């Protein structure tokens, strides 16, 4: 059985056929192409285990971590599986995008905790929410799928998921000011369409977190 992949390479699509092996992931298929067919194919990967967030690409138009995406169902299809770089970012080459804008935005936001002086404790529910938001692996899937990110003023779902704690943790001296500012400006672009929730491979649910921030 052959897995057919149609890969966007700058302004064209190129189709490759990869012999399917049991347990193969889409990332394994790209590695096969790079090793045996075209060493110039560019894609990112590191952990191979859904942890580092570097391998996300669009698979038939939907963002996926391809190291966790089994190839079998795609190999059974007649038509090629289409792989494209994520949206809402500049393409560096083939499937590689430049997400440095987001890193700069997070750095510029001074995204660190300024602790209050007393030993304030937080309740279990809030602690759990902060923990769940911190599962974000910065894969950019939500950001690429958000229809509002094209508006340069909107920081996007990744920003609010990754920095969720800074808006809600009472142990941070700045949290209430940040929340007020965000509610006045940053978050208002969100359409609450839930696309980011659907795209997130780690169940972080950015749209739900954003709604909670707006309602708090």
Residue ranges that bind ligand FES, judged by CB under 6 A: 45-48, 50-55, 65, 67
161: partner contacted, choices ligand SF4, ligand FES, none (Cβ within 5-8 A by kind) = ligand SF4
CB of 159 to ligand SF4, least distance (A): 9
Spatial contact of 15 and 6, defined as CB atoms under 8 Å apart: yes
Angle at 214 between CA 211 and CA 216, to 5 degrees: 105
Query: Any residues with CB less than 8 A from the CB of 180 and at least 6 apart, and which?
Result: none
3: partner contacted, choices ligand FES, ligand SF4, none (Cβ within 5-8 A by kind) = none
Binding site for ligand SF4 (CB under 6 A): 136-142, 146-148, 157-158, 161, 190-196, 199-200, 202, 204, 206-207, 210
C-alpha 58/C-alpha 136 separation (Å) is 18
Beta carbon nearer to ligand FES, 67 or 136: 67
Question: CA-CA distances (angstroms) from residue 193 to 75, 145, 199?
Answer: 32, 11, 12
Beta carbon nearer to ligand SF4, 70 or 192: 192
57: partner contacted, choices ligand SF4, ligand FES, none (Cβ within 5-8 A by kind) = none
Block residue for tokens 């941070």: 172
CB of 207 to ligand SF4, least distance (A): 4
Spatial contact of 57 and 84, defined as CB atoms under 8 Å apart: yes
62: partner contacted, choices ligand FES, ligand SF4, none (Cβ within 5-8 A by kind) = none
100: partner contacted, choices ligand FES, ligand SF4, none (Cβ within 5-8 A by kind) = none
C-alpha 145/C-alpha 83 separation (Å) is 15
Beta carbon nearer to ligand SF4, 6 or 208: 208
Beta carbon nearer to ligand SF4, 33 or 206: 206
Torsion of the alpha carbons at 68, 72, 76 and 78, rounded to the nearest 10 = 40
């Amino acid at each position: 059985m052959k897995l057919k992949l149609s890969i966007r390479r700058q302004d064209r699509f190129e189709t490759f056929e990869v012999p399917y092996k049991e347990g193969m992931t889409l990332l394994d298929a790209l590695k096969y192409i790079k090793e045996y067919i075209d060493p110039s194919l560019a894609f990112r990967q590191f952990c191979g285990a859904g942890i580092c967030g570097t391998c996300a690409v669009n698979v038939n138009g939907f963002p996926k971590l391809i190291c966790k995406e089994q190839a079998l169902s795609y190999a059974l299809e007649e038509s090629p599986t289409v792989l494209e770089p994520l949206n809402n970012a500049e393409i560096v080459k083939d499937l590689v995008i430049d997400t440095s804008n987001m890193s700069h935005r997070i750095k510029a936001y001074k995204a660190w905790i300024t602790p209050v002086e007393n030993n304030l404790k937080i309740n279990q529910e809030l602690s759990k929410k902060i923990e769940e938001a911190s599962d974000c692996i910065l894969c950019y899937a939500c950001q690429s799928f958000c229809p509002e990110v094209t508006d340069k003023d909107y920081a996007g779902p990744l920003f609010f998921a990754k920095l969720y704690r800074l808006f809600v943790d009472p142990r941070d001296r700045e949290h209430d000011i940040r929340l007020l500012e965000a509610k006045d400006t940053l978050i208002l672009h969100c359409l609450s369409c839930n696309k980011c929730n659907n795209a997130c491979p780690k169940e972080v649910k950015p749209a739900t977190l954003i709604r909670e921030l707006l309602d708090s």
